[in-house]
Structure 1
């Protein structure tokens, strides 16, 4: 499975370079690395999603590898890739990252927390995608990662893995909505 994830990352990098060459855009190494990392995380999320949707058989090692891929590419690493100057040719990053650095860094860190919770769930469930990994009615919380909360957020390790996965995807969506150039 690690080979699949590595192959996905490599093919994303080749695709990015080919598009840049074909369109005459020069992608800086930092922007290319950002794009590679984003493609790796998207590919990893698709692997986990397929297991939750039962379109792919559950494989705890593949599930954990995918979760670890997201964890490794989140947090400080993600924040560092978007340090000033954020704006660059061939990048979809918005200057709002620089204007609201604390929120961006918080979302990057939370992404890693949810990914870690998914890795723990894979360790706890080596044979099957157990029922306790699934969301149940009433597991859905109102609002996303940018919503104001009255109470402390629940511990992602204690929630069903599917819920942690959906919360992680909400972080991705919130970050793109807030920090990506509109219309892209």
Structure 2
């Protein structure tokens, strides 16, 4: 399925990016954030296998994983990036601090998306396996995102005022759809704010 390929590509990229955070002699806050990234990477890998149908779908495990990500997102995430904590062995770009508003917004978005994933866990997968989600949730085949401001082509708003995601609306989506959005959010943040290692 196309959605599984999208999820797979996004999440595999995310998992490899996060896994690349080798501690490399890091101490203090830099080590703490690398450990937090490693924890999220482990969760993403476990959830990816479920979302791709490689392991049995387990709504409780999805909820637990979503909660782990949520605990490491938002202010918990931004708190791991105090001013002056860049430079080796950190892989954070200077843009984290020079574009703090965008970085903070992405961290907050991850928190909302992970909350939404926990709420959507009982919906199962878009294909209908593992839960109640059926193809009809796609809003007539308009694509996962549908129009820019509606959930899956339907009438329920996915985004609240100011362009932020609405966890209650995400709760109506299939879990793999929300998981894909998490993977895309993390990937976008890493692309903009993480140094590439050779």
TM tier, shorter chain?
0.7 to 0.9
Partner of 1:64: 63
CA apart distance, 1:182:
3.5
CA apart distance, 1:91:
1.1
Whether the 8 Å contact between 2:122 and 2:132 is mirrored in structure 1 is: no
Tell me whether 1:131 sits opposite 2:100 in the alignment: no
Whether the 8 Å contact between 2:120 and 2:170 is mirrored in structure 1 is: no
Partner Cα distance (1:28, 1:93) in 2? 15
Partner Cα distance (1:143, 1:181) in 2? 33
Closer/same/farther in 2, CA of residues 96 and 133 from structure 1, 3 Å limit:
farther
Of 172, 176, 183, the match for 2:190: 176
Tell me whether 1:161 sits opposite 2:175 in the alignment: yes
Partner of 2:117: 118
Partner Cα distance (1:46, 1:134) in 2? 28
Question: How does 1:19-58 map onto structure 2 within 5 Å?
Answer: 20=24, 26-58=25-57
CA apart distance, 1:181:
1.3
Gaps of 5+ in 2: 1-17, 149-161
Partner of 1:147: none
Whether the 8 Å contact between 2:73 and 2:108 is mirrored in structure 1 is: yes
Aligned Cα root-mean-square deviation (Å)? 3.0
Whether the 8 Å contact between 1:71 and 1:111 is mirrored in structure 2 is: yes
Whether the 8 Å contact between 1:92 and 1:181 is mirrored in structure 2 is: yes
Closer/same/farther in 2, CA of residues 31 and 143 from structure 1, 3 Å limit:
farther
Partner Cα distance (1:113, 1:106) in 2? 11
CA apart distance, 1:133:
9.2
CA apart distance, 1:31:
1.0
Per-residue CA deviations over 1:61-82 (Å, capped at 9, x if unaligned) read 2111111110000000000101
Partner of 2:92: 93
Whether the 8 Å contact between 2:63 and 2:118 is mirrored in structure 1 is: yes
